[in-house]
Amino acid sequence: MHFEPYPHLSVDEAMVKYKGRLGIVQYMPNKPVKRGIKVWALCTSFFGYVYNFEPYCGKRDKLSRNDNGLGYSVVTFLTKNLSKGHHIYIDSFYTSVVLKDLLKSGIYASGTVNTNRKYLPTNIKNVKLADNGSSKCFQCIEEPNLTCTVWKDKKEIFLLSNGAKNEITTVKRRIRGNVSYVTCPKVIADYNMYMGGVDLADQYRKYYDISRKSRKWWIYMFWYLLDTTVNNAYIIYSTTNFPSEKKSKTPLDFRMSLIEAILKEKRIVETGPQTIVKHKSHKRIKIGGEKKDAYVAFH
């Protein structure tokens, strides 16, 4: 069975908790798991299905290194098997010329960008918007599909996209305790909606985490693979549920049924008949210095 992912996916880092001595252990203070093994992951935005991943191993991993940076290599590696028409959401670490190359493969992408990013035009870097909710959109002359959208929330937010339309929508904002609606470019609203796929996968994986304390780092990676496999299986089950089932199973019920199915397939080794020794008589013997009645078998 081949699972075709949903059109919206996100690329981000996942963390496998490990505090031992290991050269590839990373520290990321903004993650729930702050210290551990970093895993580049490509996940669906809605259900957190892990479509592809690659552990970070420094220069020893499978990622090719070039002048475009590590973020470029990560995105191209994770999306190499995607079909046309998907939309990838990335953060400022990955946003680069990869947007132009992804468009050649028929894959759309949107990602935030820092103003100190190389090759970003000066007129975009110096944009200052006066009011909250105001925005500007810039279009590249050489690549007409490549656009840069600037929107002011509390500060200016810069977002690059290779297939976005200049459409405006409204989003909720709480200003001084009051909820109000402000205008926002649709490409930024979509980014906020679809960017959290990897965090969602980590959240589902932690609900019924099977990991236990160990000194071996590879055991933690094995537990990550096992938890991810079970979560992916549950997502496929819940999205392709048969109409005959009135109510789909919860993640816990699915895990229990999976365990029962595995145990059912296990062969039960039958032992031979046990030999029962019949006590033909009993007599009074000394046990611990005292005389007590005890059964004694006579063969």
For CA atoms 84, 86, 92, 93, the dihedral sign is negative
d(CA 136, CA 235): 39
Residue 261, in any domain of the structure: no
Q: How many beta carbons lie within 10 A of that of residue 139, not counting itself?
A: 11
Residue 239, in any domain of the structure: no
Tell me the per-residue pLDDT of 212-263, one tens digit each, with 9 for 90 and over: 888 888 999 999 999 999 999 998 888 877 555 666 788 888 888 888 888 8
Instruction: Give me the percent of the chain exceeding a pLDDT of 90.
Output: 18
Domain with 54, as residue range(s), is 8-232
Please count the structural domains in the chain: 1
Residue 190, in any domain of the structure: yes
Quick one: DSSP state of residue 246?
A: S
Residue 250, in any domain of the structure: no
Residue with tokens 């909606």: 193
Residue 141, in any domain of the structure: yes
Q: With 60 as the cut, is the pLDDT of residue 50 above it?
A: yes
Task: List the Cα angle 171/174/178 in 5-degree steps.
Answer: 120
pTM above 0.85, yes or no: no
For 1-19, what is the mean pLDDT?
83
Residue 45, in any domain of the structure: yes
Residue 84, in any domain of the structure: yes
d(CA 14, CA 5): 19
